[in-house]
Structure 1
Amino acid sequence: METILLIDDDVELCAMLTDYLNRHGFRAIAVHHGETGLRVAIEKSASLVLLDVMLPGINGFEVLRRLRAVSTVSVLLLTARGEDDDRIVGLETGADDYLAKPFNPRELLARIRAILRRSSTAENSSAKSGTSGKLLRVDGIELDTAARSVCCDGADLELTDIEFSLLEALMRSPGDVVTREELAVSVLGRKFHPFDRSLDMHVSRLRRKLDDSGRPGDQVKTIRGVGYQLAVRTMQKIAGE
Structure 2
Amino acid sequence: MHALLVEDDDRMAHALGTALAQRGHTVRRVGRALDALRFVHEAEFVLLDLGLPDLDGLELLRRLRTVCGAPLIVVTARCEERDIVQGLRAGADDYVVKPFRMAELIARIDTVRRRSGPAAAGGDRPAPPGAPVTVGDTEIDPVSRTVTVAGGEVRLTRREFDVLAHLAARPGEAHSREEILDRIWGDAFLAASRSLDVHVAGIRAKTGRPALIRTVRGFGYRLGDGR
TM-score category (smaller protein): 0.7 to 0.9
Q: What is the deviation of 1:167?
A: 0.9
Q: Secondary structure at 2:198's aligned position in 1?
A: helix
Matched residue, 1:97:
94
Superposed displacement of residue 152, structure 1: 4.0
SS state at 1:55 partner? coil
Of 145-154 and 60-69, deviating more is: 145-154
Identify the residue that residue 207 of structure 2 maps to in structure 1: 210
Shift of 1:66: 1.9
Indicate conservation of the 8 Å contact 1:135/1:145, yes or no: yes
Q: Which residue of 1 aligns with 2:157?
A: 160
Residues 141/118 of structure 1: CA separation in 2 closer, same or farther (3 Å cut): farther
Cα offset, 1:183, TM superposition = 0.8
Please, which moves more after superposition, 181-190 or 84-93? 84-93
Report deviation, 1:124: 6.8
Q: Does 1:134 align with 2:130?
A: yes
1:134 Cα offset (Å)? 2.2
2:158 aligned with 1:171: no
For 1:27, the aligned partner's letter is T
Q: Look up the SS of the partner of 1:191 in the other structure.
A: coil
Amino acid of the structure 1 residue aligned with 2:178: E
Distance 1:160 1:45, change over 3 A: farther
Q: Counterpart of 1:85 in structure 2: which amino acid?
A: R
Aligned amino acid, residue 131 of structure 2 = L
Look up the match of 1:29. 28
In the TM superposition, 1:69-84 aligns within 5 A as 69-80=66-77, 82-84=79-81
> Is residue 91–residue 159 contact of structure 2 (8 Å, CA) maintained in 1?
no
Q: Deviations over 1:13-52 (max 9, x none)?
A: 11121121122122111111223223322xx321221111
State the partner residue of 2:9.
Answer: 10
**Displacement of 1:102 after TM fit?**
1.3
Q: TM-score with structure 2 length normalisation?
A: 0.85
Matches within 5 A, 1:90-129: 90-120=87-117, 125-126=126-127
Structure 1 range deviating more: 146-155 or 47-56: 146-155
- Tell me the percent identity: 37
Aligned-residue offset at 1:175: 3.9
Between the aligned partners of 1:37 and 1:30, the Cα distance in structure 2 is: 9
Distance 1:152 1:135, change over 3 A: farther
User: CA offset at residue 161 of structure 1?
Assistant: 2.5
Question: What is the Cα deviation at residue 121 of structure 1?
Answer: 6.6
TM, length-normalised to structure 1:
0.80
How many residue pairs align between the two structures?
222
> Which whole-Å CA distance do the structure 2 matches of 1:62 and 1:8 have between them?
15
Contact 2:91 2:158 in 1 (8 A): no
1:223 to 203, 209, 216: 216
One-letter amino acid of the counterpart of residue 215, structure 2 = T
Q: Deviations over 1:54-92 (max 9, x none)?
A: 111112111012222333332211132743222111112
* 1:65–1:93 CA contact under 8 A, matched in 2: yes
Name the SS of the counterpart of 2:218 in structure 1. coil
Q: Would you say 1:197 and 2:194 are equivalent positions?
A: yes
One-letter code aligned to 1:26: H
| Structure 2: runs of 5 or more not aligned | none
Structure 2 contact 181–193 (Cα < 8 Å) conserved: no
Which amino acid in 2 is paired with 1:207?
Answer: R
Structure 1 gaps, min length 5: 234-241
Deviation at 1:193, TM superposition (A): 4.5
Task: Provide the residue aligned with 1:149 in structure 2.
Answer: 146
